[in-house]
């Protein structure tokens, strides 16, 4: 049996939500470890932090609440239909 509770570099366990994000970051930015991630975090300005947290929470909400995703998709589809009706 594989132990997913720990992994190299003290990253979150791969089986967790945070671990999945950490794994995706490692895939996108080769060679980045915990120290490098902390350095990047240290140079983020408040707007960067707000934006990144907002997107993470939004993604989590979409994954957690499929009804929310359906409602938002329906609204988007409705807006696109309205845009097609307007003369250009």
Question: Same structural domain for residues 60 and 83?
Answer: yes
Quick one: pLDDT band at residue 87, thresholds 50, 70, 90? low
Residue 2: predicted pLDDT: 42
pLDDT at 43 over 80: yes
Q: What does the pLDDT look like over 18-28, one tens digit per residue?
A: 777 777 777 88
Q: Are residues 36 and 52 in the same domain?
A: no
Verify that 49 and 11 share a domain, yes or no. no
- Distances in Å between the Cα of 5 and the Cα atoms of 18, 19, 33 are 12, 10, 17
What range defines the domain where residue 2 resides?
1-43
Residue 21, number of CB atoms within 10 A of its CB: 15
Same domain, 39 and 50: no
Q: What is the pLDDT of residues 65-75, one digit of tens each?
A: 889 989 999 99
Sign of CA dihedral 65, 66, 71, 73: positive
Decide: 33 and 10 in contact? Cβ < 8 Å.
no
To 5 degrees, how large is the angle CA 22–CA 14–CA 33?
35
**Total number of residues shown for the chain:** 88
52/87 same-domain check: yes
Q: How many domains does the chain have?
A: 2
What whole-number percentage of the chain has pLDDT above 90? 22
Whether 15 and 49 share a structural domain: no
């Amino acid at each position: 049996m594989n132990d997913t509770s720990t992994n190299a570099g003290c990253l979150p366990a791969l089986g967790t939500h945070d671990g999945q994000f950490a794994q995706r970051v490692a895939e996108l930015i080769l060679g980045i470890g915990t120290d490098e991630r902390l350095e990047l975090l240290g140079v983020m300005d408040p707007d960067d932090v707000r934006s990144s947290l907002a997107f993470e929470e939004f993604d989590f909400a979409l994954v957690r609440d499929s009804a929310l995703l359906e409602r938002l998709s329906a609204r988007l589809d409705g807006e696109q239909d309205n845009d097609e009706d307007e003369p250009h």
